[in-house]
Amino acid sequence: MEFRKIEVVPISGNIGALINGAQLNALNDETFEEVYQAWLHHCVLFFRNQKITPQEQIDFAQRFGEIHFHPYMKGLDEHPEILEIIKEPGDGYTFGSVWHTDQMFNPKPAKATMLYAHEVPKKGGDTMFSNQYLAYETLSKPMRDMLNRVKTFNVGDGFRRGIGKAKRIDRYAKNPTMQAKIRDPGNVSTEAIHPLIRTHPETKRKSLYIGSHTQTLDGFNADEADSIIDFLRNHSQRHEFTCRFRWETGSIALWDNRCVQHKALADYDERRRTHRITIAGEKPI
């Protein structure tokens, strides 16, 4: 792929690229098109030293599609499109610290997520990403053939682990700012059935679509489903499929939830503050 406006520097063998030469509050259409093509190809992009206002972050996000609103967490008062995620020293809970893909419990899960770092720990707090095209392509043909017909059942409230609203409040017991953002999803659905192998609507490539929200496989006995899900979870996180991003103040990561799982590392006990925007997606097929 040829880029004339931006420099694209892969940060690992199979996923993730750093984009140089793009100031996200001043992208002309040609540069945006290169960013978008790089994004589809590398699955997650990283930008350094961005100085953009909340409105500029929203404007950039909207070039990817409509804003998706988090069903369980309120955004900023002045900018409800932005969820400010704050971890404080001693608060003990790290948002997104298991492998997952965002909003998989929604019948129309988020297409993309953009995270903009405002305060970062001196060490730790990296985010990991895993390429789920590869997770699919590296399975054997008989396995792919079997899994191609399988459907998953996914929930936002973790019916086995029993999260529920009370636990959600409990998890932020030491962080009143985050606790105050918790809300009821209202009539937004937080359960969804999806194909285990989905086809990316733009690249047309198949990927493994599984994450921490996945509870069971439609029609399988519970022990069969558990074993297959365990195997696929482990497989989907193979180190060769992943990259790991070290945050700095002003860094932005932008990932494609249709072909990426990610995980925030809970290896720090300092303040970390990010601004997160998700983009609405379509029903997986």
Ligand X SMILES: O=C(O)CCC(=O)C(=O)O
95 binds ligand X (CB under 6 A): yes
Pairwise CA distance, residues 283 & 194, whole Å? 8
95 binds, among ligand X, Fe ion, none (CB under 5 to 8 A by kind): ligand X
CB of 21 to ligand X, least distance (A): 24
127 binds, among Fe ion, ligand X, none (CB under 5 to 8 A by kind): ligand X
Pairwise CA distance, residues 128 & 63, whole Å? 25
100 is known as an active-site residue: yes
Using the rule CB under 5 A, which residue among 16, 75, 96, 156 binds Fe ion? Answer: 96
Residue 151 to residues 9, 91, 148, 193, Cα–Cα distance (Å): 36, 37, 9, 6
115 binds ligand X (CB under 6 A): yes
When the beta carbons of 96 and 281 are compared against Fe ion, the nearer one is 96
Kindly give the residue spans of alpha helices, DSSP state H, lying in the chain: 29-42, 54-62, 132-137, 141-147, 164-171, 176-179, 222-236
- 110, 256 in Cβ contact below 8 A? no
Pairwise CA distance, residues 147 & 138, whole Å? 13
Q: What is residue 147's DSSP assignment? A: H
Measured torsion, CA atoms of residues 253, 16, 145, 150, in degrees rounded to the nearest 10: -10
When the beta carbons of 110 and 139 are compared against ligand X, the nearer one is 110
42 is known as an active-site residue: no
Pairwise CA distance, residues 13 & 15, whole Å? 6
Q: Single out the segment in contact with Fe ion by CB under 5 A; choices: 89-97, 186-194, 214-222, 227-235.
A: 89-97
268 binds ligand X (CB under 6 A): no
276 is known as an active-site residue: yes
Q: Single out the segment in contact with ligand X by CB under 6 A; choices: 13-21, 58-66, 94-102, 129-137.
A: 94-102
Q: What is residue 112's DSSP assignment? A: E
16 binds ligand X (CB under 6 A): no
114 binds ligand X (CB under 6 A): no
- 259, 201 in Cβ contact below 8 A? no
41 is known as an active-site residue: no
Pairwise CA distance, residues 152 & 108, whole Å? 14
CB of 145 to ligand X, least distance (A): 32
When the beta carbons of 32 and 93 are compared against ligand X, the nearer one is 93
With tokens 């193979």, the residue in question is 238
Using the rule CB under 6 A, which residue among 50, 57, 106, 127 binds ligand X? Answer: 127
CB of 211 to Fe ion, least distance (A): 9
34 binds Fe ion (CB under 5 A): no
CB of 39 to ligand X, least distance (A): 16
144 backbone dihedrals φ, ψ, rounded to 5°:
-60, -40
Q: What is residue 100's DSSP assignment? A: B
Residues that bind ligand X (CB under 6 A): 95-96, 102, 113, 115, 127, 262, 264, 274, 276
Residues that bind Fe ion (CB under 5 A): 96, 102
Which active-site residues does the annotation give?
100, 102, 262, 276
